[in-house]
Amino acid sequence: MSVEYRTVVGLGNPGSRYAATRHNIGYAAADLLRSVSGASSDDELQSRLKRDAAAALRGDLDRSGWQERDGRLESSVSINNWSGTLIKPQTFMNRSGEPLQSFLSFKKIPIDHVIVVHDEIDLPLGAVRIKVDGGEGGHNGLRSISQCCGGRGYVRVRVGIGKPAPGSPLAGTEDGIATWVLSRFSTEEQPFVEELVVRASLAVVAVAREGLRAAQNRFNR
């Protein structure tokens, strides 16, 4: 029996201080998916994703479709023949699993029916990869979800934000990596990041509509 992926979680930190940072690209993907809800064809989906990508990265999209409940923002989404729920935890990153666990428990949704979109320092800027299960790679948001929500069996859409360059003061230390992920993308990176958040959103739609393996075959190249 095929799995129905109806819950999509975008990870980030709440508040204007963290808007547009590398660590918030999961939030940006969730906002972008919310903005294109109602798209009824692939052409319309692509067009609207590209139109709204920059505003999603800035955290500037219309927020009227979101409702706050138990430490999370929720919104329904409908794209072509798929519909589901978007979740943005409003705790800080290291407690992301708590509001998600509340939602999953109330809705009786197993963790393996969940897609989580998150930043990934172990992928170069611009890469998108899809995986299921496995370790958290030091990502505090993923660790919290695994601990609170019943294990590691959820789908991850890994969005590459790259690492500090070798020799950089930020390279190789825990504090340096924390500073890096909480930094904003440069002006030079902006066009690539807009394309990146579009691809991340399309990866979510592919998993939800076509299934895990088909989506991996398309994006994990």
What's the mean pLDDT in 87-105? Answer: 97
> How high does pLDDT run on average in the chain?
94
- The residue among 5, 126, 166 whose CA lies nearest residue 77 is 5
pTM for this predicted structure = 0.96
Domain ranges within the chain, ordered by starting residue: 7-219
Known catalytic residue: 23? Answer: yes
What's the mean pLDDT in 44-60? Answer: 96
Return all residues near 37 (Cβ < 8 A) that are at least 6 apart.
65, 75, 76, 77, 78, 79
DSSP 185: P
In sequence order, what E strands does 70-201 have? 72-79, 82-89, 114-120, 128-132, 155-160
Write the pLDDT tens digit of every residue in 20-51.
999 999 999 999 999 999 999 999 999 999 99
CATH number of the domain located at residue range(s) 7-219 in this protein: 3.40.50.1470
Task: Give me the pLDDT at residue 154, please.
Answer: 97
In a 13 Å sphere around the CA of 13, the CA atoms on its Cβ side amount to 17
Q: Is the pLDDT of residue 1 over 50?
A: no
In a 13 Å sphere around the CA of 82, the CA atoms on its Cβ side amount to 25
Give percent of the chain above pLDDT 70: 99
- 127-149: b (≥16 Cβ within 10 Å) or e: bbbbeeeeebeebbbbbbbbebb
- Indicate the pLDDT class of residue 215, thresholds 50, 70 and 90: very high
Write the pLDDT tens digit of every residue in 147-193.
999 999 999 999 999 988 887 888 878 888 899 999 999 999 999 99
- The residue among 25, 61, 79, 35 whose CA lies nearest residue 194 is 25
Looking at 23, 113, 118, 139, which residue is catalytic?
23
